[in-house]
C-alpha cells in the first residue's frame, strides 16, 4: 500500500518496523519524537536519535541501517503521536529534495507493508516524513512530507526539545567532573555534531583514564601519507574520516584542542591547524593528491614514499620544547629506508614525543613492524598497528589501540627527564 502526501491508513497490530531509505548518519540524520496531546515532547527523553536511540519505556528503538522498531503496546497513555523525521547535517550542502529515494516502508506483522515516499519537498533541510498517531482505539499512519528550510534547530524546537543552537563560548577550555574536556569552538557545531563528538570524547577519556593518562596535556601532531598508493584512501574519503576521528584526541589532550597537520610524500608540507568547528571544511580544502589547493602546490610534494624528511622536520621542532607531543602518523607503508629511520627513532627516544604509527590499507609496513623490538632507545617511544579498513573499527577499539601506549611513554619520559609532567 502506497500513501500519497497527506493520505493516511490504519495500522494493523502493535509491532511495526519502519525502514527509512535515504538516511545516512552524519549526512541525513534520522530521529523520532514521542509527542503528547499538545504535539510536544514531554521532556527531552522523548527525542529518539543516534545518541539516545531508545525511548524511556523502550517502545521506540532506533537501530542501525535506518531502521526503527516500534512496539505500540508499550507506548505510555499520554503519548498520542510519533513523528518520524530526518534532517540534513549542518555541514551538508543542498536540501532534502536532492536525497535520492527518501522515504520509508512500514512493515506490519502479518499484514501489508505501507510505503510513504517523501513527496513534494523543495527547499527543506529538515522534515517530518510520517506521523503514527492515535485515533480512538486505532493507530494510523499519515504521509506528511513537510518541514523546515532552516533545518534541525527549527525541527526540534517545534516539538519542544530544549536545544541551545548557539551556546555562549567559553574563553578557555573546560573539563567536566568526569574528565571530558570541551573547547570553545565546539559551540559552533550543530547539536547533532556535538552529540557525536561527545560520544567520541568519552571514549578517548575512558582510554586515558584506564591507563592513568587523564590530565596529560600534549601537542597532537597529525601526519598523513600523500603518496600515489593512497589514491583509494583519498577517493573514498577514508583520510577525511581519519581527520574527523582524530579531532576528539586533540580536544582531550591539547590545551587549544587543535591538530597540527602535515602531508608527506617525497617531501612534505605543514598545513594550517585543524579546529573542531572547521574539520570538514579543512579536509575538503587540503586533503588531495595532486594540483594546487589552499595555496599549496601538491605536485611539488611528490607521489612516492620518503619518510626521512618529514620525520627530521618533526624531530627538529621537538628540540625547541620539553612539552609532551603525540605524533599520529597514518600511512599505507613503504618505509624502505630502514637504516635511516631506525637511526632517527633512536635519536627521537631522547626527545619529548611518542610516535604512534597507524597503517591504513593492506600494505608492506617494513621497519614499522619491528619498532617494539628496536634497541638502543632511552625509552620506548613508538607504537604501530595496522587497520585494513579503519571504517570497520568502532571508536572504542580505535582509541584503545591508538592511545594505550601513550600514557606509559609519558610516565617513562617524565622519569627520564625527557618531558614535563
Find out whether 233 and 361 touch, Cβ atoms under 8 Å. Answer: yes
Quote the pTM value.
0.65
265 closest CA partner among 300, 292, 225: 225
Pairing of strands 353-360, 382-387: parallel
8 A C-beta contact, residue 76 and residue 118: no
Distance of CA 332 to the CA centre of its chain: 21
Nearest residue to 172 (alpha-carbon basis) of 255, 278, 275:
255
**pLDDT of the residue at 163:** 62
Looking at residues 343-357, what average pLDDT do you find? 95
The pLDDT value recorded for residue 178 is 67
Please determine, for residue 345, whether its predicted confidence score (pLDDT) is greater than 50: yes
- Mean pLDDT score, 113-120: 95
Find the helix or strand (DSSP H, E) in which 343 lies: helix 338-348
* Mean pLDDT calculated for residue range 78-94: 90
Residue 92: its pLDDT value, please?
Answer: 77
- Of the ranges 61-65, 192-196, 208-212, 303-307, which one carries the lowest mean pLDDT score? 192-196
pLDDT (mean) for 373-402: 90
Q: Which of 73-82, 138-147, 381-390 has the lowest mean pLDDT?
A: 381-390
User: In the structure grid, which three cell numbers stand for residue 201, read together?
Assistant: 570524547
Q: How far apart are CA 225 and CA 302, in angstroms?
A: 11
Q: Which of 248, 241, 153, 152 is nearest to 197 (CA)?
A: 248
Q: How far apart are CA 288 and CA 231, in angstroms?
A: 9
Are 98 and 127 in contact, with CB atoms under 8 Å apart? no
pLDDT number for residue 369: 74
pLDDT at 25: 74
Q: How many CB atoms lie within 10 A of CB 5?
A: 15
Q: How many CA atoms lie within 13 A of 237 on its CB side?
A: 9
Compute the distance between CA of residue 205 and CA of residue 311 in angstroms, rounded to an integer: 28
Tell me the H-state helices in 101-253: 152-158, 191-210, 231-235, 238-253
C-alpha 68/C-alpha 262 separation (Å) is: 42
- Quick one: pLDDT band at residue 362, thresholds 50, 70, 90? low
Average pLDDT over residues 200-227: 94
Question: What's the pLDDT band for 111 if we cut at 50, 70, 90?
Answer: confident
Look-up of cell digits 627530521: 312
Closest by Cα among 229, 239, 222 to 334: 229
Q: pLDDT tens for residues 232-275?
A: 999 999 999 999 999 999 999 998 899 999 999 999 999 999 99
Considering only residues 97 and 187, tell me which one the structure prediction assigns the higher pLDDT: 97
Contact of 225 with 231, CB cutoff 8 Å: no
Distant-in-sequence, close-in-space partners of 107: CB < 8 Å, separation ≥ 6: 16, 17, 18, 19, 113
d(CA 77, CA 72): 10
Contact 215, 181 (CB under 8 A): no
Mean pLDDT, residues 336-353: 90
Q: Say what the pLDDT of residue 174 is.
A: 67
Rounded to the nearest 5 degrees, what angle is found at the Cα of 30, between the Cα atoms of 11 and 246? 155
Of 129-138, 261-270, 327-336, 362-371, least confident by mean pLDDT is 362-371
pLDDT value at residue 305: 86
Query: pLDDT value at position 365?
Result: 72
* CA gap 293, 226 in Å, rounded: 14
Greater model confidence, 366 or 418: 418
User: Could you give the domains of the chain?
Assistant: 7-159 (2.60.60.30), 184-416 (3.40.50.410)
Bridge-based pairing state of the strands 219-225 and 325-331: parallel
Q: What is the pLDDT of residue 153?
A: 85
Q: How far is CA 173 from CA 178, 180, 196, in A?
A: 15, 11, 19
Helix, strand, coil shares of the chain as percentages rounded to 5? 30, 30, 40
Nearest CA to 211 out of 377, 357, 368, 399 is that of 399
pLDDT one-digit tens code per residue, 160-190: 987 644 433 344 566 766 678 988 888 788 7
- Is residue 51 over pLDDT 90? no
Q: Is 375 exposed, middle or buried (0-12, 13-18, 19+ CB in 10 A)?
A: exposed
3-state secondary structure of 26: coil
The yes-or-no verdict on residue 411 having pLDDT over 60 is yes
pLDDT of 346 strictly over 60 = yes
Kindly report, residue by residue over 294-321, the tens digit of the pLDDT.
999 999 999 998 999 999 999 999 988 8
Amino acid at each position: 500500500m502506497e500513501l500519497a502526501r497527506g493520505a493516511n491508513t490504519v495500522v494493523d497490530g502493535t509491532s511495526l518496523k519502519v525502514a527509512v531509505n535515504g538516511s545516512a548518519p552524519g549526512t541525513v540524520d534520522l530521529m523520532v519524537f514521542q509527542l503528547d496531546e499538545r504535539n510536544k515532547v514531554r521532556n527531552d527523553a522523548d527525542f529518539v536519535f543516534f545518541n539516545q536511540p531508545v525511548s524511556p519505556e523502550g517502545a521506540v528503538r532506533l537501530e542501525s541501517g535506518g531502521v526503527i522498531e516500534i512496539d505500540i503496546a508499550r507506548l505510555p497513555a499520554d503519548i498520542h503521536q510519533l513523528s518520524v523525521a530526518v534532517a540534513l547535517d549542518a555541514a551538508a550542502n543542498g536540501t532534502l529534495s536532492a536525497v535520492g529515494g527518501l522515504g520509508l516502508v512500514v512493515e506490519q506483522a502479518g499484514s501489508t507493508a505501507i510505503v510513504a515516499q517523501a513527496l513534494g519537498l523543495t527547499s527543506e533541510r529538515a522534515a517530518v516524513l510520517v506521523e503514527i498517531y492515535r485515533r480512538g482505539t486505532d493507530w494510523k499512519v499519515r504521509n506528511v512530507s513537510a518541514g523546515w528550510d532552516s533545518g534541525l534547530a527549527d525541527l526540534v524546537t517545534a516539538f519542544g526539545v530544549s536545544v541551545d543552537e548557539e551556546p555562549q563560548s567559553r574563553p578557555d577550555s573546560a573539563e567536566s567532573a568526569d574528565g571530558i574536556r570541551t573547547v570553545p569552538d565546539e559551540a559552533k557545531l550543530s547539536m547533532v555534531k556535538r552529540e557525536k563528538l561527545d560520544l567520541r570524547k568519552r571514549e578517548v577519556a575512558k582510554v586515558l583514564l584506564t591507563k592513568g593518562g587523564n590530565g596529560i596535556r600534549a601537542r597532537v601532531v597529525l601526519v598523513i601519507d600523500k603518496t600515489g598508493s593512497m589514491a583509494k584512501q583519498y577517493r573514498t574519503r577514508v583520510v577525511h574520516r581519519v581527520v574527523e576521528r582524530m579531532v576528539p584526541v586533540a580536544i582531550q589532550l591539547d590545551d587549544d584542542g587543535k591538530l597540527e597537520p602535515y602531508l608527506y610524500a617525497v617531501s612534505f608540507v605543514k598545513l594550517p591547524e585543524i579546529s573542531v568547528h572547521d574539520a570538514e571544511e579543512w579536509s575538503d580544502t587540503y586533503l588531495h593528491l595532486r594540483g594546487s589547493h589552499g595555496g599549496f602546490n601538491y605536485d611539488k610534494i611528490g607521489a612516492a614514499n620518503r619518510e626521512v624528511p618529514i620525520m627530521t622536520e618533526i624531530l627538529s621542532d621537538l628540540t625547541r620544547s620539553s612539552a609532551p607531543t603525540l605524533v599520529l602518523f597514518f600511512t599505507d607503508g613503504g618505509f624502505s629506508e630502514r637504516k635511516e629511520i631506525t637511526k632517527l627513532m633512536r635519536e627521537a627516544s631522547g626527545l619529548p614525543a611518542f610516535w604512534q604509527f597507524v597503517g591504513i590499507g593492506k600494505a608492506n609496513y617494513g621497519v614499522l613492524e619491528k619498532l617494539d623490538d628496536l634497541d638502543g632507545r632511552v625509552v620506548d617511544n613508538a607504537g604501530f598497528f595496522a587497520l585494513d579498513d579503519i571504517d570497520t573499527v568502532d571508536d572504542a577499539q580505535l582509541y584503545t589501540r591508538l592511545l594505550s601506549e601513550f600514557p606509559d611513554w609519558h610516565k617513562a619520559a617524565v622519569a627520564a627527564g625527557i618531558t614535563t609532567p
